Structure formats: structure tokens, C-alpha cells
């Protein structure tokens, strides 16, 4: 007679189904949070023996001696290696990446734009172990035989450019490899930022008679400044956390050497190299302590990038509102 079902009955059934889906989905979301908490807990827990033995001084001590009876561990040289490789790689990659992004948004002819965008994104998809394989067997020997001697003869008076490495494994090789790895990350974020610059601003500048570069310098870059900083931080985070490719090309040397052509190690690569297992409990705990330092860095980078993005979003939100009123 009537197609309308009894309201109370259906209402109850609806609620049961909703509650079930909400519960299951909520549990999944909770699981993600639990995994993050577990990561922090497990890494801290695993490094406790080393924290008890060495305390905070572990962070800057330059030592890694696994000989029984004389055991002494410290993260100093790995921290140094991480800082040098990732910062120099960012220094090279950032201008390149911004150049690529500007090319793609401002200059590229239509037929090149799609192809180059796809190619640069493909570069990001190459696994680090393959780049590392190329780095150790192809790039390393080329740098050792041709590039490093040339740089040493030309600029050898600067301690950075010491004698060429014997094996082709060096800080320099690691820097080149990391540059290739973070270039596509920074450039694809920058490209999206540049695409988001309002058309009126570009056209306004060009209508004032600026050249294309003056438009970029005066409008595009200032508009995207905060976002570029966040992109660079993300790239830096990637470089700091990279373990595999770096461990393949860096040669595993403890100590602080100022020459770019000597071997070295980073936090991540030291951990990766030791995958066959540590000999003592203290050594394993010290390796996990290195991981803890890495984790703290990655959390800081994340927070910094988020903070910048949020600040920029707020500022630009205010800006557009004012524009709409005016």
C-alpha cells in the first residue's frame, strides 16, 4: 500500500551501518597514528643502551670503534657527512630545479612542455639503488679519472678540492647522486607554485613593459618564495634520509675530511652498510641511535615545511581577500 517503510525501524538500521563504517574507518585512521607513535617508541627504545652509555655527547663525538673492549661510538663524522652532502646537493639542485620549473611554466613551447614535465617526473621514479649502481660503476670512475684531477689542478689551493679519490667512491660522487635525486622533487613543486601565480599579476607586469625575466624576478619568484623554501626543505629532507645510493658511492670512511674527494659516510649510509648485523648489543643500539638522530631531523624538516606552507597560505589568503575588496 505505502512504499514508505516504518521510520523508526529504518532509522535504527541506518545508525548501525553508519556506526560500523565509522568505527572501522576510524580504527584505520587510529592505526596510522599508532604506527607513527610506535616508530618513535621503537627507535628510542632500541637506542636506549647507547643513550645510557654515551648520553647526548654521542651526537658530536667523532668515533666508530667496534673492537671489543675498546668500543666507542659517536655520530660526529656521519653528521658531518650528512650535512656536507645534503647541503651541497641542495645548493646545486635548487637553482637548477627553479630553472627547470621556470622553463616549464614560462618558456617551453607547447610540444616540449608535456614531454619535459613527464621526463623530469620519471627521474623522480628511478629507484635509489639503480642510481647508486650507476653512481658506483659509471659515474664514480668518470669523476675519479677526469673531473676530480681537473678540479684538483685548477682549484687545488682550496682544501675542498684535494687529490682525486683512489676508488671513485667519494663525497663528491654522493653529492652528484643526491643532486640528481632531489632535483625532480624541488622542480615539480616549484612548477606547481609558478602555475599558481595569478595571471593578472603576470600580465600587469608585462603590460608595464617588463621583460620576461623582470616579470619573473618581480612577480613570480616573490609570489612563490615561501613555497620554494618549503620545497627546498622537502628536498633537503629527502637528501638527509637517503641511505642506499649514498652508501653505494661514498666508501664508508670514519672521520672528518675537508676534501670533497675523500670518502665519508652519512647517518643513513652507516646504518645501511651495517645490515649484515652488528657484533655487539652496544653497536646495534648505537646504529639505532643514528636512526633516532635521522628521525628527529626528518620530523623537524616536516614541521618546518608545514609551518612555512601554512604561513604562506594565510598571507596569500589575506592578499586575495584584500584584492577582492579593492
Partner 1 sequence: MSSHGITRADLHNVHLPRRRRVNRVMELLAWLAATIAVAALIIVVWSVAKRGAPALNLDLLTKTPVQFALGPVKQGLANAFAGSLVLVLLATVMTVPVGILIAVYLTEYAAPSIRAAVSLALDVLNGVPAIVIAIFVFGLFVVGHGQSGWAGSFALACLMLPLVARSTMEVLLLVPVSLREASLALGVPRWRTTLSIVLPQTLGGIVTGTVLAVARVAGETAPLLFTSSIVGTQVSWSPTHALQSIPVAIYELSESADPADHARAWAAATVLLVFILCTSLAARWLATRGRRRLSTSR
Task: Please identify which residue in 209, 322, 324, 325 interacts with partner 1, judged by CB under 8 A.
Answer: 209
Within 92-111, the residues that bind partner 1 by CB under 8 A are: 95-100, 102-104, 106-108
Closest C-alpha to 125, from 59, 84, 79, 185:
185
Within 111-170, the residues that bind partner 1 by CB under 8 A are: 116, 118-123, 125-134, 136-138
Q: Does 81 bind partner 1 (CB under 8 A)?
A: no
Beta carbon nearer to partner 1, 1 or 3: 3
Within 272-311, the residues that bind partner 1 by CB under 8 A are: 272, 275-277, 287-288, 291, 294-295, 298-299, 301-302, 306
Beta carbon nearer to partner 1, 135 or 162: 135
Q: Does 3 bind partner 1 (CB under 8 A)?
A: no
Beta carbon nearer to partner 1, 69 or 277: 277
Task: Determine phi and psi for 264, rounding to 5 degrees.
Answer: -175, -170
Q: How many residues bind to partner 1 according to rule CB under 8 A?
A: 97
Task: Please identify which residue in 152, 210, 229, 316 interacts with partner 1, judged by CB under 8 A.
Answer: 210
Could you count the other beta carbons within 10 Å of the beta carbon of residue 111? 8
CA pair distance 58, 161, nearest whole angstrom: 29
Q: Does 18 bind partner 1 (CB under 8 A)?
A: yes
Beta carbon nearer to partner 1, 31 or 158: 31
Select from 55-63, 73-81, 204-212, 254-262 the region that touches partner 1 (CB under 8 A): 204-212
Amino acid at each position: 500500500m505505502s512504499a514508505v517503510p516504518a521510520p523508526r525501524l529504518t532509522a535504527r538500521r541506518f545508525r548501525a551501518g553508519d556506526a560500523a563504517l565509522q568505527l572501522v574507518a576510524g580504527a584505520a585512521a587510529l592505526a596510522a597514528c599508532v604506527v607513527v607513535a610506535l616508530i618513535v617508541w621503537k627507535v628510542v627504545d632500541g637506542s636506549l643502551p647507547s643513550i645510557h652509555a654515551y648520553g647526548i655527547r654521542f651526537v658530536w663525538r667523532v668515533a666508530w670503534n667496534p673492537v671489543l673492549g675498546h668500543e666507542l661510538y659517536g655520530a660526529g663524522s656521519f653528521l658531518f657527512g650528512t650535512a656536507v652532502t645534503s647541503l651541497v646537493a641542495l645548493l646545486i639542485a635548487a637553482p637548477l630545479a627553479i630553472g627547470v620549473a621556470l622553463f616549464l611554466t614560462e618558456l617551453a613551447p607547447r610540444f616540449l612542455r608535456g614531454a619535459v614535465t613527464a621526463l623530469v617526473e620519471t627521474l623522480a621514479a628511478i629507484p635509489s639503488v639503480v642510481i647508486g649502481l650507476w653512481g658506483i660503476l659509471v659515474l664514480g670512475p668518470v669523476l675519479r679519472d677526469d673531473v676530480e684531477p681537473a678540479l684538483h689542478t685548477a682549484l687545488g689551493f682550496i682544501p675542498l678540492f684535494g687529490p682525486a679519490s683512489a676508488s671513485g667512491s667519494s663525497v663528491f660522487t654522493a653529492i652528484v647522486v643526491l643532486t640528481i635525486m632531489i632535483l625532480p622533487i624541488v622542480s615539480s613543486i616549484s612548477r606547481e607554485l609558478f602555475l599558481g601565480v595569478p595571471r593578472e599579476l603576470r600580465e600587469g607586469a608585462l603590460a608595464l613593459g617588463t621583460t620576461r625575466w623582470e616579470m619573473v624576478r618581480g612577480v613570480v619568484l616573490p609570489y612563490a618564495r615561501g613555497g620554494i623554501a618549503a620545497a627546498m626543505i622537502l628536498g633537503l629532507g629527502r637528501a638527509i634520509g637517503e641511505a642506499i645510493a649514498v652508501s653505494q658511492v661514498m666508501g664508508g670512511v670514519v672521520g672528518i675530511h675537508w676534501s670533497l674527494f675523500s670518502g665519508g659516510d652519512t647517518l643513513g649510509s652507516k646504518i645501511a652498510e651495517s645490515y649484515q648485523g652488528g657484533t655487539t648489543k652496544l653497536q646495534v643500539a648505537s646504529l639505532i641511535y643514528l636512526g633516532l638522530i635521522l628521525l628527529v631531523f626528518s620530523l623537524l624538516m616536516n614541521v618546518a615545511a608545514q609551518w612555512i606552507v601554512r604561513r604562506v597560505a594565510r598571507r596569500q589568503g589575506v592578499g586575495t581577500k584584500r584584492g577582492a575588496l579593492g
